Structure 1
Amino acid sequence: MKVYELLTIPHLEGMQIIAGESGKENEVESVNMMDAPDIIQFLKQNEFLITTAYHLKDHPHLLSELVKAMSEQGCAGLGIKTKRFLDKIPDEVISLANELSLPIIELPLDLSLGQIVNLTFYTILDKRAAELKLVLETHKQFTNIIMQGKGVQSLLQDLSQMIKRPVQLIDQHFKPISQPIMNMDFSSSFDGISIPAASSFPITFSFLSTKQNCTLFPVNISEKKNGFLMIIGEIEKNDQLTLLTIEQAANVISFALMKENALKQHDRSIRNDFFLHFLNGTFASQEEIIGRAEEFSLHHNQMYICAVGKIDGNLLHPTYTQRHEKEDDVFDFIEGELSAYTQKIHFFKKGDSCILLFEVQDHDLSPIVYVETCLIQLQEKVSKYLGNTISFGVSTLCQNFLHTKDGYTEAADALSQGKLSKKTEYIQTYHTKDIMELLRQIPLEDLKNFYSFTLNGFSATKIEEEQSLLETLSVFLETHCQISETAKRLFVHRNTVVYRIEKCEEILGKSLKDSETTLKLRLALRIKSLLEN
């Protein structure tokens, strides 16, 4: 309740401000009655003090000391029965009250101090009850929005309409969680701003660039992460109704975000466990892997590039728990950033490293360049917001999901190679080592076409015969066309090898003495092995 509202209380007609009118907006939270000279030491902030001034009638100068002490304590105002024991308020007291903006109110003579106290208290309590009722209704309204599945964004829109101010939900790095407010550059606006952990909320400050006021209210995102409900514009400390409304919204948003985060953590854990089991080779068949991967939108026929990241150096924390928490902070930050990229990036954790699977489209001209660009941006943000550096190893192109297992090995190997060079904040791309890895860089459809064209004639033979002929052909080519060595490795008679090679030449319509033919056949047989894996 404001001081000026005291004048509107029924049955208190006749009250009027005779000094310090500029303080009529002061908040009144309690009422006290003065009946002793030592009342000064018992004064409280936002307290309205009433008195007959009996003990001041012979010492009116003490009234100045009282007014000064009340101002220093942040009292709301002073009510005096001026025509009881004091004929008039001294001029110097009037001037002092005006200077200090401490309202002095003339009280009606026909009411006792007790009646004035009771009527004022009842009015304050009625107003508080009305505020609490409105707060409960507001809390119920916000809760219903979440329970009906409309989401936090809908709640923020309702809150903005209620308080008639723009509202934004941001994380601990001052990055928007909800749909961003238009025409606001969060990165530059909050650049250099830090909030101490022991700060009391709400916090109000101004942006240097726009001179616009902003008020922050704390919001819990998870057990260890906090964010802020940002209100554009200053909110007066005395505007209790607006403050209570925002606090109720912040409470409901906290519960909604914590629930949402718990569900996300559960989904992440299941997805991460699947990928780790896949890397460890614990699944019984390729069909099971492909089927399970589809559940997590990891499509088998999709091409991928794998990146493995690790925080540089030794994390200087005294305990394993603190080191682990720091890794979690960095990896959670990276995972949160991935949603901003146009192409899908899958995120996993493995020990003290993170794994990123970049989906690659057929029309991408330079997928490696795109991946490196994304990783450089992540490195810059990790350094800016968390003060850490992180390095990545990058695999070659994986033609399908099953090949991402080899891609992980390549990326991890590239990461290790970079660390051997004592580098930090680097991106190391894996260098192909053999023909099989070179073949993996070729689109799968092109490999199938080359294989079918080169060994097309064998498809007309019986399956058993085809297998024996191709097996003989493979060993024959690997032994540099030596019949005796081929027979020895296959445990068959020499004449059997001769017959099968002649049969192969008949099917192919070409001589195996031609170097171009043997090169194509050896590549086709390598592709066959690749396609079967």
Structure 2
Amino acid sequence: MSDPHGEVTLERLLDERLLQGAVLVAGADPGVAVRWCHSLADLEDPPRDLDLVAVMARPEQLTATVLQRLVAAGAAAVFVLASSEADRSPPAVPGLNVVVVPPGVPPRALAELVARLGLAHESHVLQYAQRVHSALAQLLHRGAGVSALCTRMSRLSNCSVAVIATDLRILAFDQGPNPWMHASMVAATVRELHERLLQEDVSAGPVTLETSIGDNEVVCVVGAIELADHREGWIAVINADDSPHGHDLAEHRVVVEQAATIVGTELLRLRSVERAEERARGNFVHALLHGRFSNHADLVARASHHDFAVEGRYGVVIARSAGLIAERDAPVRLAEMAREALRVAPVDDRQTLTAVVGDVLAVVRQVSPAGRTHPDPTAHELRDYATGLERRLARLLQRPVHVAYGRPVKGAEQIVLSYREARIALDLGERLRMERVCGFADLRVDSALLGLAREPAGKSFFTDVLEPLRQDRSGTLLDVAREYVAAGGNVNESARRLGIHRNTMLYKLDRISRLLERDIREADTQFTIWLALRLSTLAATAELVDRDVSSG
């Protein structure tokens, strides 16, 4: 196999003065790399681990069995030390390069030649690697960023260079000497190469891939960015020359090897900065949702830091999935959910902030200014965003997600009201088994009854109606009344839902009527029970939400 990394090759050795007149009599790969040369007599029997090693031997030593063992051990070539022109060549063995050396070539001189050229190559690689490392490390210490590192790699290699994230985003790109190449073209090629990158053992070192970008054939030297056994992405040096030289590819390999750790370190630094910014934004979102500012000046100062328009119009969208914080949802995964929420329907001139609050994901979403039309079009903006969020999170979590949103409010200080409405809509939507995307305005009757449920008169009403049923020793009458009303007064249907006999159902209905001192079969009584149950649910939900909001 021809060597792609600029090693000393058999072909290169045959160009040396010492080997003038040497003949390659067997083998089809003169480009094979050779780093050491040993005498057959110095090898263990049977020989092992002869990768990059050439073996010297007399013709009479090279029997068919010996040659087969050398092939099995991975020998790069065999130098036949002929004592005269009449010495015959050894038998040909597939997979082994055989070179007949002219008479008079000292074995020691041949071994020293291979060693000297190999060491010279290693020395050149080390010197070039040191130069690359020094150039990139200086930029790292100055905090120049990934783009600056990418540009320096491009100048060192005289090629286009791309830094690629694990999700295949192009983190940095420099076209170098190829003005026709653009980041979008590279991104398309990277997506096509993704499976090959996963299959190649890039952890062991850079690999060389031949592909095309646009209408141009290119050779890419690609290496993995790995820190602490965790992959952070890839670095690709892209050579668009018609026939790149092996020496150039070797230098590109050195650039990728040296850059991997340095770029990875910079990515970790940037990530730590991003995490700190995310925590600061999260704290700000918590303060917006719970009204936790010492005064208006405190709000303005913190909003300015996050470029948040204090006088803007906002709505709050929240999502929960059977308890958002499930067993699989580590903090990193929760942070990814918050970032996913930012990617839903982005609008350049609108602010969107996200945070995980207890067991829900909360989003503060800026909407259009209020218009004079009715209904308010901003409600559709929030619903469209909430629908997109539900679909994306359901796809990410692989489980159902409930999303709710409050009505838009004017000013940052009023966001707590929209958050409270969103929490109420979420809890009620789950309890009443409404659609997975629900706005506070969608509650209609419930939103109108909410105020009554929180007033003393409303609490007194549902307590007087429901308490006798709750106090019953059987503990089932309240459920019986609920199912009977939900079934529209149909005895058979409500009995079926409860899984009891029709006669048992009639007996329990009679007990309910006696406790209420009203006939439950009458429509007026059924409405009274429905209203009491609804007000009780609304009051419990409002109390829970108020507690969560105030304790935030």
What TM-score range do you get, normalising by the shorter chain?
A: 0.5 to 0.7
Name 1:490's counterpart in structure 2.
none
Name 2:87's counterpart in structure 1.
87
- Partners of 1:174 and 1:323 in 2: CA distance: 23
- Normalised by the length of structure 2, the TM-score is 0.63
- In structure 2, relative to structure 1, the CA distance for the partners of 1:198 and 1:87 (3 Å cut) is closer
- Partners of 2:100 and 2:342 in 1: CA distance: 62
SS of structure 2 residue aligned to 1:346: strand
Name 2:184's counterpart in structure 1.
182
Name 2:302's counterpart in structure 1.
292
Alignment of 1:198-217 (within 5 A): 200-201=203-204, 202=206, 216-217=222-223
Superposed displacement of residue 169, structure 1: 2.8
Q: In the alignment, which of 38, 63, 70 is matched to residue 32 of structure 1?
A: 38
Count, aligned residues: 419
Name 1:495's counterpart in structure 2.
none
The residue type paired with residue 415 of structure 1 is L
Is residue 306–residue 358 contact of structure 1 (8 Å, CA) maintained in 2? yes
Superposed displacement of residue 44, structure 1: 1.8
- Partners of 2:391 and 2:418 in 1: CA distance: 25
Superposed displacement of residue 192, structure 1: 7.8
What RMSD over aligned residues (CA atoms) do the two structures have, in Å? Answer: 4.3
- Partners of 2:31 and 2:44 in 1: CA distance: 27
Is residue 89–residue 100 contact of structure 2 (8 Å, CA) maintained in 1? no
- In structure 2, relative to structure 1, the CA distance for the partners of 1:392 and 1:263 (3 Å cut) is same
Is residue 171–residue 226 contact of structure 1 (8 Å, CA) maintained in 2? yes
Name 1:359's counterpart in structure 2.
366
- Partners of 1:385 and 1:247 in 2: CA distance: 34
Name 2:428's counterpart in structure 1.
417
Name 2:313's counterpart in structure 1.
303
Is residue 161 of structure 2 the alignment partner of residue 151 of structure 1? no
Is residue 219–residue 238 contact of structure 2 (8 Å, CA) maintained in 1? yes
Superposed displacement of residue 227, structure 1: 2.2
Alignment of 1:76-155 (within 5 A): 76-83=76-83, 87-90=87-90, 92-93=91-92, 96=93, 99-100=94-95, 102-155=96-149
The residue type paired with residue 256 of structure 1 is E
Superposed displacement of residue 173, structure 1: 2.4
User: Where do 5+ consecutive residues of structure 2 fail to align?
Assistant: 1-7, 174-181, 449-552
- In structure 2, relative to structure 1, the CA distance for the partners of 1:279 and 1:263 (3 Å cut) is same
Write out per-residue CA displacement over residues 92-142 of structure 1, whole angstroms, 9 at most, x where no aligned residue. Answer: 42xx3xx53x32223354443233222321221121111111011112222
SS of structure 1 residue aligned to 2:133: helix
Name 1:397's counterpart in structure 2.
408
Name 1:14's counterpart in structure 2.
20
- In structure 2, relative to structure 1, the CA distance for the partners of 1:6 and 1:259 (3 Å cut) is same
Is residue 348–residue 354 contact of structure 1 (8 Å, CA) maintained in 2? yes
The residue type paired with residue 303 of structure 1 is R
Is residue 251 of structure 2 the alignment partner of residue 245 of structure 1? no
- In structure 2, relative to structure 1, the CA distance for the partners of 1:198 and 1:70 (3 Å cut) is closer
Write out per-residue CA displacement over residues 309-339 of structure 1, whole angstroms, 9 at most, x where no aligned residue. Answer: 334567774xxxx532463353254267369
Is residue 324–residue 360 contact of structure 2 (8 Å, CA) maintained in 1? no
- In structure 2, relative to structure 1, the CA distance for the partners of 1:203 and 1:128 (3 Å cut) is closer
User: Where do 5+ consecutive residues of structure 1 fail to align?
Assistant: 439-533
- In structure 2, relative to structure 1, the CA distance for the partners of 1:188 and 1:303 (3 Å cut) is same
Superposed displacement of residue 162, structure 1: 4.7
Superposed displacement of residue 251, structure 1: 1.7
- Partners of 1:423 and 1:223 in 2: CA distance: 46
Superposed displacement of residue 395, structure 1: 2.1
Moved more, 363-372 or 397-406: 363-372
SS of structure 2 residue aligned to 1:405: helix
- Partners of 1:299 and 1:135 in 2: CA distance: 50
SS of structure 2 residue aligned to 1:358: strand
Name 2:224's counterpart in structure 1.
218
Superposed displacement of residue 421, structure 1: 5.3
Name 1:501's counterpart in structure 2.
none
Moved more, 147-156 or 299-308: 147-156
Write out per-residue CA displacement over residues 469-526 of structure 1, whole angstroms, 9 at most, x where no aligned residue. Answer: xxxxxxxxxxxxxxxxxxxxxxxxxxxxxxxxxxxxxxxxxxxxxxxxxxxxxxxxxx
